[in-house]
Structure 1
Amino acid sequence: MPYKPPLLFQAPGQWQSTKTESTGLPPGQQLVLMFATPYLTSWGNKKENYVLQQIYQWANITLALVTIHLSEYSLFEVTCEHDFKAFQYTLQGYGFAALYNHGCIPLYEGTYTLQYIPKGSHKVILSAGTYHYFYMISDTFLSTPTSIDPHIDAQNQYTEKGKNNSVVTRLPMDHRVKDLIRRLLELPGNEPEVPFTTISIITKLNRHYYRQINNMVGEPKPIDFRAWVNTFLANNMDISVRQLIQKIKQDFSMEATTLRNYWIKSGHKKDSPRASFKKLRFEYALYLIAVENLSSKQAQEQLGFKNHSNFVEEFNNYFGYPPNQIDKFLIR
């Protein structure tokens, strides 16, 4: 019997009647975990929206490559039937998840964390587009005695607060992390060595995480500029755009022109750093209003906008509707 995914994705309420489930890959799927079982949940008049989970389960290890494709702004639920700790990597896209009884998880491209996921119903809000996530669960590696690996103690201290209704700080996916995940994605299907190679890669990802925890303070110039900036943005969502830019310029010892050039080289060819950061803040404002049920005034204050009228006007310019009319573009 196929392994049941740890996370069960639900179609937005108004599309529930169109929801279908299957075990095939959608046309044009780019990322494929060759040795995994696909679980496809689709909805919409033409099944144009879907969540594909490619699940691999062996012994006490679970790996999942998740692709979400949406044709419109969507808010949907994700059900977790039991508690677990998982490494969660955002490979592509920017969005937000509301972890039940914990708070907001910023799902920013190039960032990851080891997060405690409680049993219950969680929420995800995303704009139209394609998103790729990878997560892995392994009780064995997450409970290794500290006498065997001293780095484990750092993990215990760093993630224990996850059980106390907290969201853990995110880390940048550096070149080492990306290379190890790439190796997982390139493993062939139905080969006898897959389980053992998988264990080896997971162990390396696990140890690298602990090293990053120990070294994340005092590294002002990491190799992957984009991943570092996205991590900083994810961990500082409530400060103003001006403060964000000042902090980044200070940490990297660069002027505004240099920051802009680095930003363009890292893949943001259409928008300046200021414009990109501003977009993410309005996406976060939508999350606060739609998911956490804040008023537009409360969202404005939390995001540090001084004038409510200006906030409403800019929100309207970005989404095409004011904060009190989000149901005109958000499917939920």
Structure 2
Amino acid sequence: MNKKILTQAHKLFTDDGIHDTFLDDVKIYTTSKYDPLSPFIYDVCLILVLQGKKIGHLGDNKLIYDSKNYLVVPTTLPLECETYASKEEPFIGLIISIDKKVMYEIIDNISKKEFIDSKKNSLGVFSDNVNNKIEELTFNLLEILQSKEESTILGTSILKELFYRVAVGNNSKFLYKMFLNNNKEAKIARALKIIHTECESNLNIATLARQEDMSVASFHTHFKQITSHTPLQYIKKIRLTKGKDLIAKQHYQVIDAAYEMGYDSASQFSRDFKNYFGYPPKEVKPTI
């Protein structure tokens, strides 16, 4: 991203953290220190990095998103992310929620693309190159975010064009698949939403598959292609990540977080937690 963009961005924050803007769907995230590999849950969003770099891991897959590459997460997914930043060059990124209705409209009206089924396009997240159009729209977005009036009047049209540019990007084939209701990818996306909403429940994989008119075998195959995990591995990962948030952000006791996330035993929760994060839940540091 160019210097004009960074100049506009610096007007929107004064310190590290996640900052709201005049548009509900747009937030700016900044940090001036390196963050080691940590789990995050992304929910249908576009991430534009203005400065610095993140490396996201989904299973054995690695995605780099920086000032030259944006990240698109077309379904709810957990990523393990590493953030590269320093006081001299802080990480600055825009997190933009993708309006599903707007994206459906764009994909419905856009000239049809050929969908090529390959391993390259099966993962439920992708990065793409920042081109001149994306840079121009990023600058325009940051400029209107300085004003509530301009954000209210112009924000929707700028975001719609931004989503369009993403939809015609070089790596956007998977985005199309996610938004075509009868595709296997779209079916898995709906199942993922249920898992994230009801992860503490006793979810039944056969029931999830049946709800999308899929066989259990097909559900397992496509689920792993998109998330890099089996359904049961994925559910455990989401429970542990949300359990960690309960302890850190809402100051839950370990036993309460375990039961809240559907565990019958706090000791089992602690074992799974340590296996996943590398340290026991009692060592989680609360955040204010």
TM-score normalised by the chain length of structure 2 = 0.48
Structure with greater strand percent: 1
TM-score normalised by the chain length of structure 1 = 0.43
Structure with greater helix percent: 2
